[in-house]
């Protein structure tokens, strides 16, 4: 159940970064300083938003790292009632 919660939190973080990137894209298209690049921005809208999402997601991981689990990602040697076969 804990893994599902971690995945939901990760997807929520990604969705928020995507929304933030879309808002930044909308603001960038209205800036007069980027007027000469506006046709390129409109032609590559999806790529610009995806790049912004990736940048915001990476920044969010730097500022707020994911908590590490107690197991440190290592698989247990054997599971309940099962022994490894050699």
Please tell me the predicted confidence (pLDDT) of residue 18. Answer: 96
Give which of 76, 58, 78 is closest to 13, Cα–Cα.
58
Read off the pLDDT of each residue in 37-50 and give the average, rounded to a whole number: 94
What are 55-64's contacts with CB under 8 Å, separation 24+?
Answer: 55/21, 56/17, 56/20, 56/21, 57/13, 57/14, 57/17, 60/13, 60/17
Taking the whole predicted model, whether its pTM rises above 0.85 is answered as no
pLDDT digits (tens, 9 = 90+) for 56-81: 999 999 998 887 765 555 565 666 77
At residue 3, does pLDDT exceed 90? no
Please check the confidence at residue 36 and state whether its pLDDT lies above 80.
Answer: yes
């Amino acid at each position: 159940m804990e893994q599902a919660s971690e995945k939901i939190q990760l997807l929520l973080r990604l969705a928020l970064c995507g929304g933030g990137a879309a808002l930044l894209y909308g603001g960038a298209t209205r800036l007069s300083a980027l007027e000469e690049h506006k046709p390129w921005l409109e032609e590559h809208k999806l790529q610009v938003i995806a790049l912004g999402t990736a940048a915001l997601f990476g920044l969010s991981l730097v500022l707020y790292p994911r908590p590490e689990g107690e197991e440190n990602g290592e698989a247990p040697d054997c599971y309940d009632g099962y022994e490894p076969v050699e």
